Structure 1
Amino acid sequence: MSAASASIVNSSVFILTGLPGLEQYYPWFAVPFSCIYAVVFLGNCLVLHVIRTEPSLHQPMFYFLAMLAVTDLCMGLSTVHTVLGVLWRLSWEVSLDACIAQTYFIHGLSCMESGVLLAMAFDRFTAICNPLRYACILPNSRVTRLMVSILMRSALSILPVIIRLRFFHYCRPHLLSHAFCLHQDLLRLACSDVRFNSVYALALVICTLLLDAVLILVSYVFILHAVLAIASPTERLKSLQTCVAHLGAVLVFYVPIIGLTMVHRFGQHLSPLVHVLMGHVYILFPPLMNRVIYSVKTQQIRSRMEKWFPLKR
């Protein structure tokens, strides 16, 4: 780390942190992290291929699932080079421009995933509460507009704070607390006036992630009310089973975000290793688990994969 430490004085270079205090074990961590990234890439590509090649999956629910897979795939691609670069001892350095670009993709993709989960909640609400009007409410043209709106919201809403990062003066030691770049990390190192970024970032979280979570919760209140009105217990269970995968995806996305936020806000007394591990959970857990959840709980995808990979019971 001597060469890396010396480069801290270079104002255009930032130093990435791996797992504090466990540097001697990096090769042991590098192998499982590499396997996780491989599973994320292959799993998402496989889901996208199944949806593209199976005509029965050409419907709104699976279009949103495809967008979720693309989001998770891009999240992995945006962080793999720095995380594995640190763990394999290839590079601890990242330039300011590359760090800002990674920050944009990480936070923008998180906003996009939240929007996709909200769209999927609306899809489940429509399918259960208005099944006879499902095709009229969600035609392909409206689904396309929803997907474009989600993309534009995530791409444009975060630009003001990202652009300002480029013009900040970073006078503090350029040591990042993760193996990737986050907005709050760069603010911590800046000596410029960061009040706009802090306030805007908080407002953006409230208007996107928090609002999306509230709307998802409201949609499930209506779904539960509609399901309880069904007379047949079998039909109730069948209706609820169509929501299990989506609920799982919502939990694996929001729980790590809440955990990371709580650690950053109230965990100053905790070890830096806890902060780093929570950051990696936030980055890798949703892309990894979404594929598992939808492959196991979605009958159409599971049956198609069983044709390709037959297993003896």
Structure 2
Amino acid sequence: MSYVNPSGEYSRDSRYLTNRVTADGRDGFPVEPGRYRLVVSRACPWASRAVIVRRLLGLESALPMAVAGPTHDERSWTFNLDPGNRDPVLGIERLQEAYLARDPSYDRGITVPAIVDVPTGMVVTNDFSQITIDMSLEWAEYHRDGAPALYPSDLRSEIDAMNEAVFKDVNNGVYRAGFAGAQEAYAEAYDRLFARLDRLAERLEASRYLVGDTITEADVRLFTTLVRFDAVYHGHFKCNRQKLTEMPVLWAYARDLFQTPGFGDTVDFDHIKQHYYTVHRDINPRGIVPVGPDLSSWLEPHDRAALGGRPFGDGTPPMPTVPEEAVPTGHTALAP
């Protein structure tokens, strides 16, 4: 539930459910393997962060995942990818049911990612920014052997500052451009977006990753916007100064991450396009979904290893995707 204010500026509703699943259970929801269900849609960039972090840390068994379909109506995301159109564990057709189980008068956005408490069937949190941080810190006991440090203590202040800037100008910036209700508001968001992308390119020209010499939370957050840029944001949201493929440093950086286990193997380009072009009828009234872009270029050499850096630090790559969570053949640039 977001809105456009009288000056035409898009404002995101940030009234999230901020309970947390923690190691000490201080909010009443202790970390317990198998107790919770992470509900996502592969179409959503905010949910995709959680999908990537969960995979990098090896939390597949401890925190099972439900994947909603790529589209939704005014009521909710639906589980139309599952047999009988119901999530097999929660037994619900719509994510809305888990929100109403938490609060029958709930009047905010039915958003993903959401962590649902399976015994009660109610949403614990949909605070997407905190969810991935807590995966790194609160769920540490259940990380796989060799899990990378995505939010290391010595770099947290720098990661936090980077995340704030990227959120304002890039992650949310594309939405501020795409949903602007006035020319001036659109132009301001457009200018801020590309000014930030230019600054990020300068930083990444000499550094393989955004903060430090390994993949961190900051890279995950930027990646989920970049991977959608040419497929959606360039045309659909009018972020069209350049395509990602026309920004050499950012394009190589995005390919480097895409080809890293845990990133590209979670991306479903079909779901991404289905969502944006079908749901946003105010922007795309006929709901026509583009056929392109060509995905094969995501696998071209990136040559970023020459900058040094170690993707997983002292850790190791994640194991191959479990079959039941694999992105369908044809929805990704990767071979099956």
Q: TM-score, normalised by structure 2?
A: 0.24
Kindly indicate which of the two structures has a greater share of residues assigned to helix: 1
Kindly indicate which of the two structures has a greater share of residues assigned to strand: 2
The structure whose Rg is larger is 1
Q: Which has the higher contact order (CA 8 A, sep 6+)?
A: 1
